[in-house]
Amino acid sequence: MTSLLTLRRAFVINRTLIRHGLEEFLAPTPLSRLTGLMKLFALSSNKNRKLNRGQRLNQALTELGPIFIKLGQMLSTRRDLLPDDIAEELSKLQDKVAPFDSQLALDIVERQLGAPINSIFSAFEPKPLASASVAQVHSARLLSGEEVVVKIIRPGIKKKIVADLKLLHLLAGWFEKYSSTGRRLHARTIIRDYQTTLFNELDLRIEAANTSQLKRNFENNSILYVPQVHWDLCQKRVMVQEKIHGIPIGNIDELDRAEVDRKLLAHRGVEIFFTQVFKHSYFHADMHPGNIFVDAENPADPKYIGIDCGIMGTLNESDKRYLAQNFVAFFNRDYRRIAELHVDSGWVRQDVSIEEFESAIRTACEPIFGKPLDEISFGHFLVQLFQTARRFEMEVQPQLVLLQKTLLYIEGLGRQLYPKLDLWQTAQPFLKSWLAEAYGPVAVWNKIKQKAPQWFEQLPEMPDKLSHFLDTAKSRVEQQQKLQNRLTELKNAQKESAQKISLSILGATIALIWTFGITNITDNQWLSVGLLGLSITCFVVSFKK
């Protein structure tokens, strides 16, 4: 039954792509053999042939439904891999889905929270505030009078996701097998990452935990507000949190009517990003306009409000250091330093030619500096850098892809708020200050002071630890020597065994010659006797211990 459903879904996808004039995406796969047949079932031809392929792909994915819309959104973040026209159009995909039945939403809330709806909320708005592919959100009011929002996972969504993922894994395998583009895109890896993201979004406890962590990180910083999670009302399929009131970040007209300082707002967006990445090592990786609002209560001192923390990114200390140094080197046009950093960080193989890599980076980045400084894009620098690095077999890490996606969002929002935003002027002092704070002499001294009490505490034990270390090292040397001796014995035994086998084969060969000679050479008895003796000697020596 599952195979029939998968086949039927494959038929629908094939027909949809053909109807939108996207046969080229089927060309490298076995489905291309069915293109002629599928055209008979396309029912209607694409009326928008004047649209570019990215726009047509946007339409096709929208028609195929929520799972494919989210896949397109995720693919749009891989600007280091996708052609510009496709990446640009996929980034415009809107995740707006018809809501599911309100009574069904109430039933899910009651089952998940284990109580009648009126014993939890004094009011619950049946019409959802928003409806997306995985969940929808309703306004409500707690018995205490506090306004909240209730996020509810769509019923039956996991079954649909699993069914579509099976097909996507199959298509990705074909794409990698039959297309060099598919191999370059690492299609199967992308689908695996997509699957992980989707399944995480199905558990609202993960989003609640992410939200709580982000709120704690900005407790003492007034530029970003994160709503409070009501943990006693959170389950796998239901999450309740404080309702926020603000202006959507993309509503420029409303921001202007509220007389919000947009220049300050743009700079604070950049500050929030770099604070999350370099200070907290934990950043909101889905900061598109739908997830950001502005608290305009004090227009001269606006605050950001962040929601929907389903996707978060992290960076380790090594990644942070190298990334910051890459940014600084980029604006100093020190391309050799960028090449060396990629090798030192392990992002690129050690045997890569630094000179060739430096030249490729220079070729990619110099055109960026042909623009005014306030138009230079960090995000597009990362895109160019990753595209260049892939030619030298750099495997882009997922956390770096999330970072690139988030930076592109932040830059886009910043330039929309304040077109003359000089990102470097905003970011450079922060990066240099962070590098000095994290890795400068003062930082080293602070780390020594921090570790000193622990070192002094362990000081009386150091002679015993040193003695144990030396004993262990000596034991390891002895074990290695024994192992080496054993390997030598095995090699000698193998050599001796090979010699005996060779003598046995030689003896058997001579015996055959001797036998042939006795029956055919009657007038050469001395030769026959000599051959027999030599054969016997070979056998005796080969069996001797």
Q: What residues act catalytically?
A: 286
Please, what's the b/e burial string for 451-473 (b: 16 or more CB within 10 A of its CB; e: otherwise)? eeeeeeeeeeeeeeeeeeeeeee
Please, what's the b/e burial string for 19-51 (b: 16 or more CB within 10 A of its CB; e: otherwise)? bbbbeebbebbebbebeeebeeeeeeebeeeeb
Element holding 64 (H helix, E strand): helix 53-64
Please report where in the chains the tokens 């996708």 appear, as a residue: 82
Scanning 304-440, the segments in alpha helix (DSSP H) are: 317-331, 335-344, 354-365, 378-391, 398-417, 423-439
Contacts of 244 (CB under 8 A, 6+ apart): 225, 227, 293, 305, 307
Supply the Cα-derived Rg of the chain in whole angstroms: 34
**Positive or negative, the Cα torsion across 185, 189, 195, 201?**
negative
The span from the CA of 178 to the CA of 29, in Å, is: 6
CB 175 within 8 A of CB 29: yes
Contacts of 111 (CB under 8 A, 6+ apart): none
